[in-house]
Amino acid sequence: AQSVTQPDIHITVSEGASLELRCNYSYGATPYLFWYVQSPGQGLQLLLKYFSGDTLVQGIKGFEAEFKRSQSSFNLRKPSVHWSDAAEYFCAVGAVTGGGNKLTFGTGTQLKVEL
Amino acid sequence: DAGVIQSPRHEVTEMGQEVTLRCKPISGHDYLFWYRQTMMRGLELLIYFNNNVPIDDSGMPEDRFSAKMPNASFSTLKIQPSEPRDSAVYFCASSLAGATNTGELFFGEGSRLTVL
């Protein structure tokens, strides 16, 4: 069965500082990996995704993530955090089979940004 | 373009009452998912549909929960009778299959359910 681990429940960074959110997955084949962001009272919005090819993927809002097969990781990074990045971030793994995509989400990392 | 639309946004009810949550997926999407989000368990997939047919309902917690998709533009999640432990935010999401499928799920804003 597929699973996702986000080891950090809460992270606090200062505005302008760099950010890295950790994600480890378990999956029997080449995974499809995603990062979503959820602002308070909102649904989840896709930040970026990895299917194949270049292991460094770029997303919206200046985020990027790197797929490392040897470490079963897909960590999310941003070089300089803005106060508006404060939100909850979810890593997800899934398999696109037959067109549909059943995702398994991690438990999320709550990001707080100090001004 | 309209995104996934859920209603109601907030529902407060008493234990034992029936609750119906509604979802309108993005037009043209052929997969629809119902997720539940709680502090304790995070995001859990309850059930998903393909072309209005339920594919996997293994996440539905018990018989008190049921979901239907009578047509491509409407789905309901019903809880009868409701219990306090059902209090959560329920999300609906849709996606598009086919050669251009990127696997992205498009989420609604959720329905926050409180059962007293």
- Cα separations (Å) of B84 from B40, B61, B77, B79, B92? 14, 14, 17, 11, 21
Give the end-to-end CA distance of chain B in Å, rounded to a whole number: 37
Nearest to A96 among B33, B103, B110 (CB): B103
- Distances in Å between the alpha carbon of A70 and those of A48, A73, A92, B76, B78? 21, 8, 18, 42, 43
Q: What percent of chain B lies above the pLDDT cut of 70?
A: 94
What are the chain A neighbours of B103 within 8 Å (beta carbons)?
32, 34, 49, 51, 94, 96, 101, 103
Nearest alpha carbon to residue B79 among B58, B56, B60, B93:
B60
> Does A29 have pLDDT greater than 70?
yes
Q: CA of B108, closest CA in chain A: separation in Å?
A: 5
Residue A22 has pLDDT above 80, yes or no: yes
Coil, strand or helix: which one is A62?
Answer: helix
Strand A109-114 to B88-95 pairing: unpaired
Select from A49, A104, A107 the Cβ nearest to the Cβ of B104: A49
Model confidence at B39, in pLDDT bands (50, 70, 90)? confident
Which of the residues A35, A48, A91, A102 would you substitute to probe the B interface, choosing the one with the greatest number of B C-beta atoms within 10 Å? Answer: A102
